[in-house]
Amino acid sequence: MLFAFISKLNGLLATAGSWLRCPFLLIVRVYWGWQFMQTGWGKLHRLGQVAGYFDSLGIPAPKLNAGMASCTELGCGTLLALGLLSRFASPALVCVMCVAYATAEKDSLHAIFSDTDKFTSATPFLFAAVIVFVFGPGRIALDSLLFREKKG
């Protein structure tokens, strides 16, 4: 009897979770897409400073990489927010964030197991891009008008 109750409750929670999937993905995409857009736009307007910072981190070709990172954040952030070509935009953003981790957030990266709070405080951008890549943009996205994803 207890198992039947738990099974029924699990089914109800699974149904509620599936109802929340689409609005959750919409919120993640729009919020973090907007954040990427703002970050990229800000970097583009301070490209000299960003290139200097990249140079101080030892990133090769700092002007080129600053421009590419800025354009990727702005362009792919816009695509992410719109839910357009999301599965193309999110890996590009993941790459930018991984480079940021390996260069500007070395301490956070090294603290992945020793100080998880330090690690997780620097990762929301990365996690948002991974979530969209893994789960897709959701039904409220331009991608859903362009592509039909196979279930499974």
What is the value of pTM for the model shown? 0.85
Mean pLDDT, the chain cut into blocks of 10 residues (152 residues total): 90 92 95 96 97 95 97 98 96 94 82 77 85 94 84 52
- Could you give the CA distance from residue 86 to residue 80 in angstroms, rounded to a whole number? 5
Output the pLDDT for position 152. 47
